[in-house]
Structure 1
Amino acid sequence: MKVIKFLQLTLENIKSHRDLTVNFGEETQITGDNGKGKSTIPQSIPFALYNMDAFGSKLDPTPINYDADITKASLLLEVDGKQLLLSRSLKKGKSQCYVNEVPTSATKFSELVSDLFDKDLFLSLYNPNYFFTLHWEKQRAMLLQYISAPLKKEVLKHVAEEQAKHLEPLLKKHSIEDLKELHKDKKKTLDKKYIAAQSKTKTLQEQLEHHAPTVPLESLNAELKPLLKQRKELDEIHDSASSVNGRINVLNNQINNLNKERDSMKDDWAVLKNEQPEGNCRVCKQPLQDEALEAARDDIKQRTDNFKSAFNDVIAQRTKLQEELKTLEYIDVSEQRAKLSDLQSQIEPIEKEIAKHEEYEYYLKQVEQAKTEEKECLESLNESIFILDSIKDYKAKEAELQGEKVQALFTTLSVRLFKQNKGDGEIKPDFEIEMDGKPYSKLSLSETIRAGLELSDVLSEQSELITPVFIDNAESITRFKEPIGQLITCRVVAGQELNVKAVGE
């Protein structure tokens, strides 16, 4: 516990005080009529430390009704038994700081004071009304910095068992706020996905109903079976006829080609059979000798024999094809085609009806798959909703437990740390201090002093810092709990000059 004591305050040309020295005791009573400079004494202390008044506002300490070259306030402190003299002066508008009467830069001076105590904490302890001039977020932060939040396992014990079961493993990976943002985003995505899944299921269901067959599949198959059998038989007949007729056409084409080849060979034969050996070589045009002439005759004979052989092969091939053609008879399939056409006209509507059953089965599978996807999406969505609701309950219970810890520090004051949004029920940070059901802003002067003193005691105990406490307008409060540290009171006494009395020095 750090203890700060005021030993002596020296004022030089501050407001109405030309030269004033105040020695402090455990209680320092400052009395006098209005306008006698009572409040200037305690207001000069934060001026010396921070160049401001006890409410954190800019302070002009210069004399009111006379001129002076210098304005100066010096505060002799005792910090954990060690004395320290801190001073601040103004000369022609220029500020100068001193530590143990040694001129010091404003920066070093501020650092030294900050090392002693936090400014907002000191002013909240010194002036019980200062705390309430701060923004509620600052007030809340000041109070909670000394009070640890409930542990996760402690909060989980107070939520529903199923909620704790889901949250516990998740909170090992994420903070409660990160988990909340994660599932808010997931729920947003799943909301859209679920709507799309519902729409898909509805569309497929409508298509399924549209493609619903009217004739039972068993009846269609029973009706189609004999027709397919007849078509198969006719197809076999048609295929057989087509094979025969095709062969006839092939044979006729081949015979015609052989006839053409034969006729062409007859023309070639007329030339060949009348050919005689010439007196000159057909190649070099030299006159043929006896042996050469004989060779020419042999060549003609050889070519004649080869030609006859080739001609006979053509005749033989044609004869063979003609013999095969005589064994085949052209089949008229026009009747079969007509029957097949009639059968197909009966089969097609039946097959279309059967196709409806196949389409129906397809859409039925699509609908089932869509329903499965919709169900899975809904389960994921419900899980995120459940987790978000669990987080909301967790935070509400956390707020309740933290509120209980804070509330346990006070005796007459009530502290609100959270509020619940009307729209979504979310627990949001908030801060308000009440006394007897009334917010601080509605309290009377004496009530604000008592509230400030109680809060000052709590902050002092939690921060382990004891400072003097200053009560202005002390005449307005008849009873209050004595602070832990020194007490400085200012009280109006009609018709009395300024009087400073130190008790328990």
Structure 2
Amino acid sequence: MQVIFKTLILNNFKSHRDITVNFGERTDITGDNAEGKSTICEAPTYVLYGTDALGSKLDPTPITYEAEEIKVSLLLEVDGKELMLGRSLKKNKTIYYVNEVPSKAGEFNEVVEKLFDKDLFLSLFNPSYFPSMHWEKQRSMLLQYVTSPINKDVIKHMPDEQNKCLAALFKKHNLEDIKKIHAENKNTLEKKYIAAQSRTKTLQERLEQINISNVPLESLKAELAQIDKQVREKESLLDKAWEKNQAYNSLQAKIRNIQDQVEMSKEHWPLLKNEEIEDSCRTCKRPLDEESVTTVKKDKEIRIENYKANHEKLLKERAGLKAQLEEMEFIDVTELRNEIRELDPQGTPLREAIRIHGEFGRLQEQVKQAQTDENETLHSLNESIFILDCVKAFKAKEAELQGEKVQALFETLSVRLFEEQRNGELKNTFEIELDKKPYRKLSTAEGIRAGLELRDVLSQQSDLITPVFVDNAESITSFKQPVGQLIVSRVVAGQKLKIEGVDAE
């Protein structure tokens, strides 16, 4: 799109009561200070946005006189089609005009917004506007026309190891996700690695504190096995002796029991033997007949025979048990117990030595596993650190390539898009430099040249050609002809305001 200023009409605008400016391909505005040269630069932006050429709010009120209405009209040619825009202020009320037709603010703003972006237009019209914006806005505006290099183009400029690493990771995640994943991994693994080191050290210290026997483990086990064998053999003898003694004691108990029965039988015999045969009933005391007495006598005889038979049986049983007892032997196990008591403790130091051998072996395995875990954690940690370094290198290379693409747009200016932090990370920035001097330190002439080159780059990249206003042109001897309509303001001492529009021949 090409925008051309055709005619500017000022009525009671600041120092100008009534003036019409007919623009040519180049328009020279000359005159002494305070002749209203810069006001002409402010008028187009006032019509479009109600601001001065730097985007600040503008008060259009006449300076040295009073007026009921202030009005500014600008005739534009946009790609060959004319458009008349106007803005007036009457009794603090703003009236808008589109092709001389009064319009609402929204309708007017919609027409202007369809033409071009405000910041872009002001940057192209006034070379001093772009550097006045916040650096983030400057950066964003310039980079919207410069595509970032694609991942494939960036990694092919990186070392092979980093190239292979990122190429594999890019199949699953984007760069920011890769950074987040491995930044979190790094934090987690650093803590895990410290814990792993601590565990390895603790286990190693415990291992070093163990006083292990110089006697081989197999020898200790063999010696203990021999002692245990002897103990088991003696315990087996002790068990057998206990069984025999248990039988002996049991037989003795039976004999004592029968002996008690014999004694009880003896005590019962006199009572039975001397029992009298009564001739009367024990209950009713009536005399018994001869037959009953005979029956009573016979009962006593039977009971005596039974007693004798039972007594004899007890005596025989006692005699038989005593005969068995005489054939049995009660074994004294005192010596055997003493032998076991003396022998068994001999295995205690051997068992302790074997236990220490076992603990030492377990600790060795734990130390080995802890070292393995520590090494694996360190490997994973180093892997995440390497990936983060790859991400950092990728961003640096991406910034370098993007910077080269941006720098290729300029002839004399250099543009800094990034600055390196202490941690090696790149931080977004934006600095325009001329001969290594930042824009803010340039002289007026250098600033004009830098601004014109910058606005020409923006014009070319955005495909928008607008008029450009060069103020204070007297401070610069020459400058490259910018793209688009040129409006030049120059101070000429003692001269009244003079406007000359020149078209190409």
Normalized against structure 2, the TM-score is what?
0.87
Give the equivalent residue in structure 2 for 1:442.
Answer: 441
Q: Work out whether residues 228 and 344 of structure 2, in 8 Å CA contact, stay in contact via their aligned partners in 1.
A: no
Q: One-letter code of the match for 2:190?
A: D
Does the alignment pair 1:361 with 2:361?
A: yes
SS at match of 1:494: coil
Distance 1:306 1:499, change over 3 A: farther
1:347 matched residue in structure 2:
347
Q: Deviations over 1:413-453 (max 9, x none)?
A: 011111111x2111221111111111111111011111011
Structure 1 residues 353-392: aligned runs within 5 Å = 353-392=353-392
Q: State the Cα deviation string for residues 244-264 of structure 1 (Å, max 9, x = none).
A: 223334445566667778989
SS in 1 for 2:344: helix
Question: What residue ranges of structure 2 are gaps of 5+ in the alignment?
Answer: 276-280, 282-303
| Closer, same or farther: CA 433–268 of 1 in aligned 2, 3 Å | farther
What's the CA shift string for 1:56-104, capped at 9, x where partnerless?
Answer: 1111111001111111211111222222222222222222222222332
From the superposition, tell whether residues 41 and 242 of structure 1 become closer, same or farther in structure 2 (CA, over 3 Å).
Answer: same
Deviation of 1:486 (Å): 0.6
Alignment RMSD, CA only?
A: 3.4
Kept in 2: contact 1:212–1:360 (CA 8 A): no
Structure-1 residue corresponding to 2:284: none
Q: Which moved more, 1:441-450 or 1:85-94?
A: 85-94
Structure 1 257/102 Cα, relative in aligned 2: closer, same or farther at 3 Å? Answer: farther
Measured in 1, the distance between the counterparts of 2:247 and 2:57 equals: 121
Do the aligned partners of residues 462 and 240 (structure 1) sit closer, same or farther apart at CA in structure 2, a change above 3 Å counting?
A: same
Offset at 1:323? 6.5
Identify if the C-alpha distance between structure 1 residues 316 and 15 changes in structure 2 by more than 3 Å, giving closer, same or farther: farther
Provide the C-alpha distance between the structure 2 equivalents of 1:246 and 1:440, rounded to a whole number of angstroms: 116
CA distance in 1, matches of 2:331, 2:188: 72
> Whole-Å Cα distance in 2 between the matches of residues 305 and 11 of structure 1?
167
| Mapped partners of 1:53, 1:454: distance in 2 | 22
Flag the 1:325–1:364 CA change in 2: closer, same or farther, 3 A: farther
Offset of residue 345 of structure 1: 2.1
Is the aligned partner of 1:114 residue 2:113?
yes
- After superposition, the C-alpha distances for 1:454-500 in whole angstroms (9 at most, x for unaligned) are 01111111111111111101111221111211111111111111111
Task: Measure the CA separation in 2 of the matches of 1:264 and 1:126.
Answer: 144
Name the CA distance, whole Å, in 2 between partners of 1:317 and 1:59: 143
Which runs of 5 or more residues in structure 1 are unaligned?
Answer: 280-303
SS at 1:48 equivalent: helix
Measured in 2, the distance between the counterparts of 1:48 and 1:311 equals: 151
**Aligned residue-pair number:** 485
C-alpha separation between the residues in 2 aligned to 1:50 and 1:305?
151
1:337 Cα deviation (Å)? Answer: 1.6
> Partner of 1:17 in structure 2?
16
> What are the equivalent positions in structure 2 for 1:77-476 lying under 5 Å apart?
77-217=76-216, 218-253=218-253, 325-421=325-421, 423-476=422-475
SS in 2 for 1:465: coil
Per-residue CA deviations over 1:199-258 (Å, capped at 9, x if unaligned) read: 000000011111240322244335434322322221221122222223334445566667
Tell me the distance in 1 between the aligned counterparts of 2:264 and 2:76. Answer: 143
**Poorly superposed stretches of 4+, deviation over 6 Å:** 257-274, 304-323
Q: Secondary structure at the match of 2:66?
A: coil
1:155-203 per-residue CA deviation (whole Å, 9 max, x = no partner) reads 1111110111111121222221221122111111111100100000000
Q: Deviation of residue 387 (structure 1)? A: 0.6
The match for 1:294 is: none
Deviation at 1:315, TM superposition (A): 9.3
Q: Cα–Cα, structure 1 residues 266 and 194, in superposed 2: closer, same or farther, change >3 Å?
A: farther
Q: C-alpha displacement at 1:380, in angstroms?
A: 0.2
What SS class does the counterpart of residue 39 from structure 1 fall into? helix
Q: Deviations over 1:14-49 (max 9, x none)?
A: 111111111111111111111111110111111111
Specify the code of the residue in structure 2 equivalent to 1:140: R
| Residues 4, 80 of structure 1: 8 Å contact kept | yes
Structure 1 residues 44-53 or 245-254, which shifts more?
245-254
> Which string of whole-angstrom CA distances, capped at 9 and with x for unpartnered residues, describes residues 116-141 of structure 1?
11111111111111000111111111
Q: CA deviation at 1:114?
A: 1.6
What is the alpha-carbon distance in structure 2 between the residues aligned to residue 23 and residue 161 of structure 1?
A: 63
SS of 2:37's partner is coil
Kept in 1, the 8 Å contact 2:238–2:336? The answer is: yes
Look up the equivalent residue of 2:183 and give its one-letter code.
K
Say if 1:54 and 1:127, in contact at 8 Å, map to a contact too. Answer: yes
The AA in structure 1 aligned to 2:334 is S
> Which residue does the alignment assign to 1:72?
71
Partner Cα distance (1:326, 1:420) in 2: 110
One-letter identity of the residue aligned with 1:17 = H
Using the alignment, how far apart are the partners of 2:126 and 2:448 within structure 1? Answer: 9
Match of 2:278 in 1: none
Aligned partners of 1:380 and 1:205: how far apart in 2?
Answer: 23
Aligned-partner residue type, residue 388 of structure 2: L
**Aligned-pair identity (%):** 56
**Shift in CA distance, 61/259, structure 1 to aligned 2, threshold 3 Å:** farther
SS of match in other structure, 1:178: helix
| CA distance, structure 2, for counterparts of residue 45 and residue 312 of structure 1 | 154
Q: In the alignment, which residue of structure 2 is the partner of 1:29?
A: 28
Partner of 2:11, secondary structure, is strand
Q: Give SS of 2:2's match.
A: strand
Partner of 1:62: 61
More displaced 10-residue stretch of structure 1: 232-241 or 402-411: 232-241
Q: What secondary structure, in the 3-state scheme, does the structure 2 residue paired with 1:489 have?
A: strand
TM-score (norm 1): 0.87
